[in-house]
Chains A and B, each alone.
Chain A
């Protein structure tokens, strides 16, 4: 069974950093690209970025709203994808989801809440 479990969320002050992890199981992690999405409280869905698998070049793309502040990486040996978030702003407050794939993902984690507030 495919499972994606996000962790690392919490309360953080503006300007600080946080790293989210997405631990995968039930499939060969290295064969798949991984994506991050987010959803602010009471709002719609927003794409954050993705990282392709090595066979597809390992390239990374980001939404304009996070480019230069957020970094996506992966450790295929541990089956974990990461989202490093720096210079956090109040508008980054959201539930963050990781997904398998980068087009129309059918597997989503349960999400982890990040609250940016002083």
Chain B
């Protein structure tokens, strides 16, 4: 099973700042099959990024994904108030599909 470790656990930033979220895999993720999700309280997760760097439909271009192998990054270039949420990475290249433990992005 591929273990995904996200860092930091909590990130405190202000609107307008840049956010960098990390996801590290215990082994190489097959075909860069890595996705990022955003989840707000009481809501289902929302797909942001798939294939490590492809944006989901209608996703604002301030969100970007990068990385390969075992190290992946989600970057939000200029934080908007609606971006404060929990973010999860997920690998789907191998079974079982696994998630990171999440990074909470909170308003400073």
* Chain B interfacial residues counted at CB < 8 A: 23
Taking the complex as formed, is B11 at the interface, i.e. its CB lies under 8 A from any CB of chain A? no
B interface secondary structure, majority:
loop
| Complex partner residue of B99 from A45, A109, A110, CB under 8 angstroms | A45
- In the complex, the answer to whether B92 meets A103 with C-beta atoms within 8 Å is yes
A44 and B88 contacting across the interface, CB-CB below 8 Å: yes
Complex Cα–Cα for A39 and B35 (A): 17
Interface residues on A, range: 10 to 19
A55 at the interface (CB under 8 A from B): no
Q: Which residues of chain B are within 8 angstroms of A109 by Cβ–Cβ distance? A: 44
- Give the distance to chain A from B83, nearest Cβ to Cβ, in Å: 18
Residues of B within 8 A of A63 (CB): 96
Give bound CA distance, A45 to B102, whole Å. 9
CA distance A97 to B37 in the complex (A): 14
Which residues on A sit within 8 Å (CB–CB) of B51?
104
Q: How far is the CA of A43 from the CA of B102 in the complex (A)?
A: 9
Q: Which of B29-61 contact A (CB under 8 A)?
A: 33, 35, 37, 39, 44-47, 50-51, 56-57
Is there an interface contact between B44 and A105, defined as CB atoms closer than 8 Å?
Answer: no
Chain B residues with Cβ below 8 Å from A108 are 44-46
Chain A residues with CB under 8 Å of chain B are 44-47, 61, 63-64, 97, 102-106, 108-111
The 3 nearest A-B residue pairs measured at CB: A104-B35, A104-B50, A108-B44
**B interface residues, Cβ below 8 angstroms from A:** 33, 35, 37, 39, 44-47, 50-51, 56-57, 88, 90, 92, 95-102
The 6 sampled A-B contact pairs (Cβ below 8 Å) are A45-B39, A45-B88, A104-B35, A106-B57, A108-B46, A111-B44
